[in-house]
Amino acid sequence: MSLALDPAAQDLLFREARTANTFTDEPVTEEQVQAIYDLVKYGPTAFNQSPLRVTLVRSPEARERLVKHMAEGNQPKTASAPLVAILSADNEFHEELPALFPHFPQAKDVFFAERPVREQAASLNAGLQAAYFIIGVRAAGLAAGPMTGYDAAGIQKEFLDDDHTPLMVVNIGKPGEDAWFPRSPRLAYDDVVTTV
């Protein structure tokens, strides 16, 4: 066997996992979210950057404010999911680098003094962390429904600030009835991998 991970875990995280479109009413607890974060925070990023920010939308009032910014097809899913998370990139992540990258604390100023450089780095590394977050949701035995169909400026104004850029909205919970669309195709190894 080429992979160290147990086949059942491979299925849970990848082969059998899909984007969920419906959910049961079973709540997602704070302890579950904490366990997800405490696992995925170890995923690699450049310079150990940690620009991902997670805004949990729990209250009915906040959910209503969020739903109005979602694309029409995403509104019912977001309205009914047990938990919704707004994943964003903190463009001022560099302030934490002296603590997160202690063997080269000068990286904060040497590489990330300019805002456009920070925004690019934040987008890439928070995107990596968002992917880890989705895998972490699956590892918790939950389903994730990540979406990018929304009014980004509206979500930023409603929930974030100018230093945080929304990346995606993720519905989280136990999958409900007819939760999955049919599995879409994937590219074959030979279509993706080139040896030089």
pLDDT tens track for 111-160? 999 999 999 999 999 999 999 999 999 999 999 999 999 999 999 999 99
pLDDT attached to residue 130? 98
pLDDT attached to residue 5? 94
Structural domains of the chain, ranges and CATH numbers in brackets: 20-175 (3.40.109.10)
Residues in the chain with pLDDT values less than 50:
none
pLDDT attached to residue 100? 97
Q: How far is CA 1 from the centre of its chain?
A: 30
CA angle 13, 18, 23 (to 5 degrees): 110
pLDDT attached to residue 109? 95
Closest CA to 152 of 168, 128, 172: 168
pLDDT attached to residue 126? 98
pLDDT attached to residue 61? 97
Question: How far, in Å, CA of 188 to CA of 151, rounded?
Answer: 34
pTM for this predicted structure: 0.95
List CB contacts of 105: < 8 A, sequence separation 6 or more: 97, 98
Torsion sign (Cα): 91, 47, 38, 145: positive
Question: How far, in Å, CA of 82 to CA of 56, rounded?
Answer: 11
At residue 63, the 3 state secondary structure works out as: helix
Burial of 133 (0-12, 13-18, 19+ CB in 10 A): buried
Burial of 31 (0-12, 13-18, 19+ CB in 10 A): exposed
